[in-house]
Amino acid sequence: MNVALLPWDRMWGDLAPVGRDARSGGYRRSAWTSEDATLREWFAGEAAARGLDLVTDRAGNQWAWWGDPDADGPGLVLGSHLDSVPDGGAFDGPLGVVSAFAALDAVRDRGFTPSRPIAVAHFCDEEGARFGIACAGSRILTGALDAVRARGLTDADGITMAEAMTRAGHDPAHLGTDAETLRRVGTFVELHVEQGRGLADLDRAVAVGSAIRPHGRWRVDLPGEANHAGTTLLADRDDPMLAFASLVLAAREAAEKHDAVATCGKVRVEPNGVNAIPSLVTGWVDARGDDEARVRAVIADLTSLVEDRRGTLTEESWTGITPFPTDLAGRLSALLDDAPVLATGAGHDAGILSAAGVPTAMLFVRNPTGVSHSPAEFAERDDCLAGVAALATVAEELAR
Ligand code: HGY
Ligand code: MN
Ligand code: MN
């Protein structure tokens, strides 16, 4: 069946090949890489095509303004991120940015004249896939991540964020909190593919966000003694891989015990040789739960296990429960045909801005399987267009 292609389709098609792994179909779009540069150029092109004023803030986030936020602000901001987890899905992030541009198109096509400026935002490095800190762009912007610490973060190859930014043509000395940019944001609304099955189970296309559940990331360093895999007696081994194996099993056990979730999805082994007992194993734990106490209980269980094995466990990032303003969520739910109001276990830039005091809301678009952070992540085009229509309705409501 031929459907009339919309700007949404064209934008979606533009992004489809950027950073896509031909083998898995997943995406590799990390901060300050060539893929990131392509995505930034795409964003700038979409802004220019609409006559929007493009600004890049001190944290590297991009803002495309319709109207002057300094003269007539603060404004309404729509948007999300464009980066991905390794081998991530197509929708997590980009759906929010593409939908924001499409919603702007829709309200302009209807002849809507906003009472305040409206912007589309692209927050950089939301997944923290390369340098390890989630929502790095919005955290630096709001001061939740210190610029000195951020510049020194390193990727798997030991390249610092400062070096990566420099190679990408951005001055890392400029990196920092940007109060001027933040002052321009009166309200932020982030549309995002749902990372779960709430809407599928409710048979609705769009939901409003109520809160982001507590979550954090911890690095675990487990030392051992490098030695020969073939000639070292078992009794003489100090093999940190055994400690890591215990950690992985203990993380699942603690999550079950404390009614939380925990994941060991990333590990680095030194020297990483088939025939060498490792000298060091570094693993990361992602733990989340309905309340902070549960998550902290999981980490407490793991801390004693790690310390018993001469290891260290270091908190790399933490986000406490982040409720979105209930009056705003309720207002949007009523506006959107009593859309369900759902909490999420996924972190978002909206959570960072909300924690910084910006009135914030989220819209979720149905994900039929709930799968995310995977090439299998999906949303039906009709539901994506329902999300655009909802975002346009919200934009008119909040900027009239
Ligand atoms: O990890 C998260 O929850 C988000 O996708 N950054
Ligand atoms: Mn994500
Ligand atoms: Mn996301």
Same fold across 3-213+322-398 and 224-319: no
190 in contact with ligand 1, CB cutoff 6 A = no
Q: 373, 374, 377: which to mutate for ligand 1, most atoms within 8 A of CB?
A: 373
Among 138, 261, 295, 348, the mutation site with the greatest number of ligand 1 atoms within 8 A of its Cβ is 348
1: pLDDT strictly greater than 70: no
CATH top-level class of 3-213+322-398: alpha beta
Collapsing DSSP states into helix, strand and coil, what is residue 375? coil
Q: Are 382 and 204 in contact (CB under 8 A)?
A: no
Global pTM value: 0.95
Atom of ligand 1 minimally distant from the CA of 288? 3
pLDDT computed for residue 73 by the predictor: 86
| Per-residue pLDDT, 3 | 63
Name the token pair of 327: 């009056």
Instruction: Identify the nearest ligand to the CA of 93 by its number.
Output: 3
- Cis-peptide into 240, omega within 30 deg: no
Average per-residue pLDDT in the chain? 97
What class has domain 224-319?
alpha beta
Q: Quickly list DSSP for 250-311.
A: HHHHHHHHTT-EEEEEEEEEES--TTEE-SEEEEEEEEE-SSHHHHHHHHHHHHHHHHHTT-
Task: Tell how far the Cα of 99 is from the centroid of ligand 2, in angstroms.
Answer: 17
Distance CA 358, CA 398 (A): 14
Residue nearest to atom 4 of ligand 1 (CA): 347
pLDDT per position as a tens digit, 231-265:
999 999 999 999 999 999 999 999 999 999 999 99
For ligand 1, whether the C-beta of 347 sits within 6 Å is yes
Angstrom distance (rounded) from CA 326 to CA 337: 17
Domain ranges of the chain: 3-213+322-398, 224-319
Ligand 1: centre distance to CA 399 (Å): 29
